[in-house]
Amino acid sequence: MEEGKLGKAYDLNLLKRLWPYGRPYLRIIFIALIVSVGITIFTLATPYVSKMAIDRYIIASWYKVQAGDVEQQAIVEKYARLFQPGARDEGRFISHTNTRKLDPMDMNVLETGGVLAETYYKIPPTARTLPILEKLESSSIKAKDGDWFAPTILVNSLPAGEMAALRARDLTGVMNLGLLLLVLAAGAFYLGYLEYNLLEKAGQNIMADMRLALFTHIQSQSLSFFDKHPVGRLVTRATNDIENLNEMFKSVLVTVFKDMFLLLGIIVVMAYMDWRLALVCYALIPVVVICAFLFSALARDAFRQLRATVSAINSFCQERFAAMAAIQLYAVEAHQMARFEKINEQNFLAGMRQVRVFGVFLPVMEFLSHLGLAIIIWYGGSRVLGEQATLGTVVAFISYLRTFFRPLRDIAEKYNIMQAAMASSERIFEFMDEDQTLDLAKNPIAVKDVKGDAAFDGVSFCYESDKPILQDINFSAKPGEMIALVGRTGSGKTTLMHLLFRFYDPATGEVRLENKDLRDWDLKALRSHMALIQQDVFLFAGSIRDNITLGDPEITEEKIAAALEQAEAGFVYNLDKGLDHHIAERGINLSAGECQLLSFARALAYNTEILILDEATSSVDPQTERAIQKAILKIAGKRTTLVVAHRLSTVERADNILVVRQGRIVETGTHSELMAKQGHYYKLRQVLSN
């Protein structure tokens, strides 16, 4: 998938591909979902507890109902379970909360009849309240349960101390509900902490497994895979793209379920409290869905363009920074700046387009939220005035509405995360679906006594293009021989070495070791008999010891010392900390010659039967070259040595020299034999000498 392209925001096929990585942590994810349900319950409970505080204790009023006619009496009898009679048959009382349980038509009859005009507080008889109630005895009514009903207008006119004494039970109720809210807040805090840790644990494990699987897959590919994909792209897959998936998992996937629980819970609780008011609020849902759908289409296109321009900037900067020496040498900074300004302008315009999309969506969501608030105040307020709803219900509805729109406002950010994650997962799985591994033998042979007898028999090879790189190559290298390959750049010398390592398979012919086709060998066993020293030495960041052993526990201190001596690399012991001297990545704190000698020592430490030097002396000074040549001669008689070199002085002592031209071996022989022929080798030497 191209860098600037995007997949679907919600691609079920990709989610199915991700499933195997999440399955081992399903238990953790399931617990996180249960915790999310708990958080949802606590979130839903908070406004409802506030409603209870308002309706039961803050506005704790009762209505006295004295039925005046037959119709009113029938209504009172119909809802007898909701009414509380007075002790001396002084009418009946119904709480303000219970009035909404009456049928609207019956409620209208009672209101128009004027029987719900006066409100009362219900007060328990205590040592503090009885003296005060005696003052209001003429206006107070004793209930059958022993409590008293006192007119609210009289209670509110009392001094603050007496009023507080009469409403002590209400104050206690408010305090208890306040403590309950604190418990809910503490519970939500703990569950939120638990949920975050569970999601992080699952997410980090999933990403670690994916990164390991991706690295294992990439490492198993043949060199043709790496020829096709730049290193920067591979690094991006293993880092940025994996991190995008981690962000999607912890910020979107599980929170989507939490948001769904929350939205569904709000819809249910609102319907339970007042289904008529809830239905009016539900009218906003289709509008919200349509807006979200339109936003997703616009945001997808805007995000695609922005990602494409970011990719262009990354590519441009990476290339220019790498070539900064050439840019400054030829004084073309102004030209490069003009090109960058053009790309940067495209990125700016794409970013502004995304800003405009979000700049419309977020205010629209805010507008719909305020519209819902206006509807609740208008319709809910009218129901409160009509005694069809309580004030606590309206307050709870307002709180639920704000909570309802909170995840909807986050949809923009979550959509961005999903877009990036789906694109990243598609690119990752494209890599993992791409299989350019070599065909391994089902029953590999086991060769015990390997001496280093190698042969090429009718070998031809080409890369992905049809242009042949090697044609009908035939030669052999016997144990203890030094074979040199010489020729112009691009003639195919290095490719020959790659075929011997079985980095690639030949198109035709066979490459053999110990008279066995390399394709019949176990790949790891095959390469354990070979060592390579290249022109471009790669040293890892770490100690000299680690760079020589590469983590192989069988390479002892004695073997390291012997390898350094053979490689003429005694300079190591003059460095700070000797073998423990720290090398920077690619050996930038060592000279080119020192790096080459360490590479040589590494190859010797593995004590392989075949040693290949690919332009190993082309980038070193004459002194280092002489040291390497001395080392080569010292060990050449003990193993098969193949040397690829431009400097013909390196190959003069070879047992056999192969001259490669345009993918073919055009001459073979010793140095003296080839010089006597005065053919390609002779001409090549004359050119290099001049």
User: How far is it, in rounded angstroms, from Cα 288 to Cα 498?
Assistant: 61
Q: Is residue 69 situated within a structural domain?
A: yes
pLDDT category, 326, cuts 50, 70, 90?
Answer: confident
What's the average model confidence in pLDDT over 547-558? 87
Query: Sheet of 468-477: strands edge to edge?
Result: 468-477, 454-462, 508-513, 516-517
Q: Describe the crossing of helices 333-375 and 275-282 by its angle, rounded to 10 degrees.
A: 150
- pLDDT at residue 185 in the model: 94
Are residues 141 and 24 located together in one domain of the fold?
no
Are residues 147 and 199 located together in one domain of the fold?
no
Is the pLDDT higher at 376 or at 638? Answer: 376
**Residue 359 in tokens:** 């700049």
Predicted confidence (pLDDT) per residue in 11-68, tens digit = 678 778 888 888 899 899 889 889 989 999 999 999 999 999 988 888 867 888 877 7
- pLDDT at residue 41 in the model: 92
Are residues 360 and 233 located together in one domain of the fold?
yes
Q: Is residue 523 situated within a structural domain?
A: no
Q: Is residue 598 situated within a structural domain?
A: yes
pTM here is 0.69
Last residue of a domain, which of 392, 415, 433? Answer: 433
Cα 102 to Cα 94, 95, 380, 395, 466: the distances in Å are: 11, 11, 17, 21, 88
Q: Is residue 402 situated within a structural domain?
A: yes
The CATH number of whichever domain residue 642 belongs to comes to 3.40.50.300
Q: Which residue has the tokens 């999309």?
A: 357
pLDDT category, 268, cuts 50, 70, 90?
Answer: very high
Are residues 346 and 411 located together in one domain of the fold?
yes
Q: Is residue 594 situated within a structural domain?
A: yes
Burial label for 657, CB within 10 Å (0-12, 13-18, 19+), is buried
Predicted confidence (pLDDT) per residue in 152-161, tens digit = 888 888 888 8
What's the average model confidence in pLDDT over 368-383? 90
Are residues 132 and 210 located together in one domain of the fold?
no
Q: Contact 589/540 with Cβ under 8 angstroms?
A: no
Are residues 400 and 540 located together in one domain of the fold?
no
The per-residue pLDDT of the chain, averaged, comes to 83
What's the average model confidence in pLDDT over 444-470? 85
Are residues 231 and 87 located together in one domain of the fold?
no
Predicted confidence (pLDDT) per residue in 280-308, tens digit = 988 888 888 888 778 877 877 787 777 77
Are residues 266 and 386 located together in one domain of the fold?
yes
pLDDT category, 225, cuts 50, 70, 90?
Answer: confident
Cα 216 to Cα 37, 208, 210, 213, 425: the distances in Å are: 38, 12, 10, 5, 17
Are residues 253 and 159 located together in one domain of the fold?
no
Are residues 84 and 28 located together in one domain of the fold?
no
What's the average model confidence in pLDDT over 410-434? 78
Q: Is residue 416 situated within a structural domain?
A: yes
The CATH number of whichever domain residue 339 belongs to comes to 1.20.1560.10
* Contacts for 610 with CB less than 8 Å, ≥ 6 apart: 452, 454, 477, 500, 513, 529, 530, 531, 639, 640, 641, 642
Q: Is residue 349 situated within a structural domain?
A: yes
Last residue of a domain, which of 399, 418, 433? Answer: 433
Asked if the model's pLDDT at residue 6 lies above 60, the reply is no
Are residues 143 and 206 located together in one domain of the fold?
no
- pLDDT at residue 647 in the model: 65
Please give the angle made by the CA atoms of 315, 320 and 326, to the nearest 5 degrees: 155
- pLDDT at residue 146 in the model: 78
- pLDDT at residue 11 in the model: 67
Predicted confidence (pLDDT) per residue in 169-217, tens digit = 888 889 999 999 999 999 999 998 998 888 888 888 988 898 898 888 8
pLDDT category, 379, cuts 50, 70, 90?
Answer: very high
pLDDT category, 89, cuts 50, 70, 90?
Answer: low
- pLDDT at residue 254 in the model: 67
User: How far is it, in rounded angstroms, from Cα 507 to Cα 406?
Assistant: 62
pLDDT category, 233, cuts 50, 70, 90?
Answer: confident
What's the average model confidence in pLDDT over 218-245? 78
Burial label for 518, CB within 10 Å (0-12, 13-18, 19+), is buried
User: How far is it, in rounded angstroms, from Cα 20 to Cα 22?
Assistant: 5
Q: Using a pLDDT cut of 90, give the percent of the chain over it.
A: 17
What's the full length of the chain, in residues? 690
What range defines the domain where residue 228 resides?
Answer: 12-34+192-433
Predicted confidence (pLDDT) per residue in 350-372, tens digit = 889 888 888 888 888 889 889 99
Instruction: Please give the tally of structural domains in the chain.
Output: 3
DSSP string, 620-647: S-HHHHHHHHHHHHHHHTTSEEEEE-SS
Q: Is residue 503 situated within a structural domain?
A: no
